[in-house]
Amino acid sequence: MNTAHKLARTPAQKLALRADLLDFTAAPSWGSPTLHGVRFRPDHWLMVGEDGRIQGAEPAASFTPGPDWQRHDHRGQLLIPGFIDTHVHAPQLDVIASWGTGLLDWLETYTFPAEQRHAHPEVAADGAARFLDALLAHGTTAAVVFATVHRTSAEALFAAAAQRGMRLVTGKVLMDRNAPEGLRDDVEGARADCEALIQRWHGQGRNSYAVTVRFAVTSTPEQLAMAGELGRRHAGLYMQTHVAENRDEVAWVAKLFPEARSYLDVYHRAGLLHERAVLAHGIWLDTGDRALLRDTGAQIAHCPSSNLFLGSGLFDWQAAVDIGHRVSIATDVGGGTTLCMPRTLAEAYKVQALRGTRLNAWTALHAATRGAAEALGLSHEIGHLGEGTLADLAVWHWAQGPVATHRDAVATGAVLSAAAPAGLPAQPLHARVFAWMTLADERNLAAVYVAGRQVNFRRA
């Protein structure tokens, strides 16, 4: 019997989940899909210990969990690691799907007025709870999140994530110029707020602090220097910002920082590029920038739905692969139009198609799970179904509605008929998963688990 969404599990009980298990053991190949790095275990039991950690998996055909295991039977459904959204703005749920602007006027017209409201603790707390519940309702169990400039907004997100046991990386936004009254801080005030937040939340449970520079335009050189100092003073801090999203923005940065070689170089000079740095977009970069990303270990959070919606440009993933810098995938709500990762991956495919390349489903899914976890230094905790990781999981219907159901049946027939003694057929399995990735959305979500506890994601 399917117990999803109904029963709260008694605390600290061993859990066995039956489903088709899909995750990655290594980075898949770029271009034509092969099975390199793909681990597909159809109809298996995933075993989760009392500590919420994955213990292993067994084929259902030859194994039945004993009576001391609570069983959740999701047979015929797809179980994957919970998605990791590496760039998203909690307060921007208020302005998602706002008409008629590109990046700079979108900020001024919609985003800044919305963010001002989060100065109020009640608004911030409501917003944080709504946002994290919405992530879970889209099968996303971990995220790197922008709060607002207000300390209370980051506080609210950390507290709400702790309550839910979720993995969260966030921080108070730094902005001391080119922003309206009520959304500006200053160097010393910001430093004090960051220090207090780091003290209280960084490394507490599953929370980590990110030094959060909105973008080069809204911080003075003095504030960028302070941000770099914070990162050097505290071990394990993340850094998140935006880079080279839009051509007008790039031109403005060049005017504000004439001494820098490029937009990305502004951050490098402030000591902000390192292996825990997450930079959204990275559309208008050159080869020198890409080499700098590779050499510092920083990652680009590619945000396809946002880039299409705001008309920012087409991210060059092929160039990232060629030079070897890290890429993860993110929704960037509210510039992005959905928190749903399958929809976002489908948009990523279309962006690459417009560039003349074909993104395979394995590369896309890896970038939103294990790839993101590795880029964040968190693959010991999340991103795959390996032993010892926390069971942050999402279970998906392979298909919803007549069109997807028919398409899945066609793909499943191909998977079965092509099953060769040599092992799994690469192309038919990819065809099925690609069709799922392209057609699925949050209505396909069947169950969500955070650290081995089932979440009632439909309560809202």
Which CB, 132 or 278, lies closer to Zn ion?
A: 278
- Of residues 82, 90, 77, 10, the one with CA closest to residue 44: 77
Q: Per rule CB under 5 A, is residue 115 in the interface with Zn ion?
A: no
Which H/E stretch holds residue 443? none
Which CB, 174 or 440, lies closer to Zn ion?
A: 174
Q: Per rule CB under 5 A, is residue 332 in the interface with Zn ion?
A: yes
Using CB under 5 A, count the residues that bind Zn ion: 2
Do 34 and 426 meet the contact criterion of CB atoms below 8 Å apart? Answer: yes
Please classify residue 122 by burial: count the beta carbons closer than 10 Å to its beta carbon, then call 0-12 exposed, 13-18 middle and 19+ buried: exposed
Which CB, 210 or 280, lies closer to Zn ion?
A: 280
Q: Taking the complex as a whole, how short is the minimal distance between the CB of residue 242 and Zn ion, in angstroms?
A: 5
Do 450 and 392 meet the contact criterion of CB atoms below 8 Å apart? Answer: yes
- Of residues 351, 244, 247, 346, the one with CA closest to residue 298: 244
Stretch that binds Zn ion, among 101-109, 324-332, 360-368, 435-443 (CB under 5 A): 324-332
Stretch that binds Zn ion, among 60-68, 274-282, 319-327, 402-410 (CB under 5 A): 274-282
Q: Taking the complex as a whole, how short is the minimal distance between the CB of residue 328 and Zn ion, in angstroms?
A: 13
SS3 446: strand
**Residue/partner pairs of 407-410 with CB below 8 Å, 24 or more apart:** 407/435, 407/439, 408/432, 408/435, 408/436
Do 250 and 263 meet the contact criterion of CB atoms below 8 Å apart? Answer: yes
Q: Taking the complex as a whole, how short is the minimal distance between the CB of residue 383 and Zn ion, in angstroms?
A: 22
140-146 vs 167-171, strand pairing mode: parallel
The conformation of residue 274, written as its DSSP 8-state character, comes to: S
Footprint of Zn ion on residues 277-296 (CB under 5 A)? Answer: 280
Footprint of Zn ion on residues 400-459 (CB under 5 A)? Answer: none
Instruction: Say how far apart CA 223 and CA 241 lie, in whole Å.
Output: 13
Which CB, 330 or 399, lies closer to Zn ion?
A: 330
Stretch that binds Zn ion, among 59-67, 155-163, 290-298, 332-340 (CB under 5 A): 332-340
Which CB, 146 or 257, lies closer to Zn ion?
A: 146
Instruction: Say how far apart CA 159 and CA 138 lie, in whole Å.
Output: 20
Q: Per rule CB under 5 A, is residue 85 in the interface with Zn ion?
A: no
Q: Taking the complex as a whole, how short is the minimal distance between the CB of residue 330 and Zn ion, in angstroms?
A: 8
Which CB, 115 or 332, lies closer to Zn ion?
A: 332
Q: Taking the complex as a whole, how short is the minimal distance between the CB of residue 210 and Zn ion, in angstroms?
A: 13
Residues in the chain: 460
Which CB, 326 or 453, lies closer to Zn ion?
A: 326
- The footprint of Zn ion (CB under 5 A) covers 280, 332
